[in-house]
Amino acid sequence: MKNVVVVGSQWGDEGKGKIVDWLSSEADVVVRFQGGHNAGHTLVIGEKVFKLRLLPSGIVRDGKISILGNGVVIDPWALLNEISEIKKQGINVTSENFMISETASLILPFHQEMDEIREDAAGKEKIGTTRRGIGPCYEDKVGRRSIRVMDLRSMTNLENRLENVLLHHNAIRKGLKKKIFEKEELKKKLLRIAPDILKYAKPVWLKIDEFKRDRKKILFEGAQGILLDVDHGTYPYVTSSNTVPAMASTGVGIGPDKIGYILGITKAYTTRVGSGPFPTELNDDIGEMLGSRGKEFGTVTARKRRCGWFDGVLVRQTIKVAGINGIALTKLDVLDELDEIKMCIKYDLNGKIMDYLPAAIEDQFKIKPIYKTFPGWRNNTKGVRNIKDLPDNAKKYIHAIEDFIGAKISSISTSPEREDTILIEDPFKY
């Protein structure tokens, strides 16, 4: 049995929530290893719809252990609100089935304010962040001044840590002519919620080692997508963490040799939220149709997603960067009504043909997609659970994707329902 890492192979919103939930029926432990409450999952289980932001997808299943690793940045108030919300839906969250790393950094109110200040000041150059303080918190983490979960255990230590981080932030706020942040009020608010947070805090790296020794099956759950990786994405229009599967090792505390199978979630077309380059974007009726049929609105922000044709060049690149073993192809049924379907196979940069995404952001905005066209199937694939029952043209499109990107399609999702999945290869038994 192997552990499995699930990542998005595009710009996020590929349908990871459903796939992780589906895989968690086999897993014993589900771990988030990066990101914050800026990335959401929507899980549809029978008549119930769960909208998760921080909590791992395994939390909705009985008998599973859910974990937030040290690579996650945690807004403690958002976490407690989410726990309260999901408890109202009948889900039990206790210190037995949920834990957070004691070394995870906390998102504080001044992080969110700084996120908003920067976005508002950027004008046309804004990144398109969710304004939830993720980036500023990661900056403090790298700057060695963040408040971590463990700091809530000691009032004296918390006071010293707050003084250190506010020295930095208040200097910036003064320069921007913003009101300085008062330490005492924030300290009181943190100490008020400290017991509710600390009851879930554990040395996650040690618990993961125990689970590994006990031969538990561990599912590592990434947020966003590889094209939003701070190193390998469309920089600077990226998130503030590494979204590649290698982050599962450092973001939890486990050797890279224990990661196992890497599953890339891949939408049958392409979407993107916020600003940044998008070579195959469709600003026409087809783009609108994809957005409408695919219900392309963000789980966390409700922002409308930009839609376009499948970009094979980008997915092939992320597969190489991430070491993806197989992909789960999602939202195939959204393409059911199209007469023809296109896939980007190369780029044209001012007459130069390229088979990868150029690194310079100005070039990323200039490139034009070169397409290969496939006939549509004009037939219903929603709810299909056996690959033999798919229309012939749908099978041809699937095989063409597989051949071009150089990775096996291990499963196909044909609706938001967890049961509507065609399993070709089980990642846990690969």
Q: Which of 13, 115, 229, 420 is catalytic?
A: 13
Q: Return the bridge partners of 330, or none.
A: 267
**How many other β-carbons are positioned within 10 Å of the β-carbon of residue 429?**
9
- CA–CA gap between residue 430 and residue 428 (Å, rounded): 6
The answer to whether 350 and 260 have CB atoms below 8 angstroms apart is: no
**How many other β-carbons are positioned within 10 Å of the β-carbon of residue 10?**
24
Q: Return the bridge partners of 311, or none.
A: 344
Residue found under tokens 């004009």? 378
Read off the tokens for 184.
Answer: 């005492």
Q: What are phi and psi of 369, to 5 degrees?
A: -75, 145
Q: Which of 37, 41, 111, 232 is catalytic?
A: 41
- CA–CA gap between residue 34 and residue 74 (Å, rounded): 10
- CA–CA gap between residue 122 and residue 119 (Å, rounded): 5
Distance of CA 87 to the CA centre of its chain: 23
13 is catalytic: yes
Written as one string, the DSSP assignment of 380-428 is --TT--SGGGS-HHHHHHHHHHHHHHTSEEEEEE-SSBTT-EEESS-GG
- CA–CA gap between residue 225 and residue 204 (Å, rounded): 24
Read off the tokens for 397.
Answer: 């499109």
The answer to whether 267 and 11 have CB atoms below 8 angstroms apart is: no
The answer to whether 306 and 387 have CB atoms below 8 angstroms apart is: no
- CA–CA gap between residue 106 and residue 111 (Å, rounded): 10
Upper half-sphere CA count for residue 30 (Cβ side, 13 Å): 28
Alpha helices, H only, 105-154: 109-122, 134-142
120 is catalytic: no
Alpha helices, H only, 176-284: 183-198, 204-213, 247-250
Apex 6 CA angle, 304 and 303, nearest 5:
10
Q: Which of 46, 10, 15, 2 is nearest to 296 (CA)?
A: 15
Catalytic residues: 13, 41
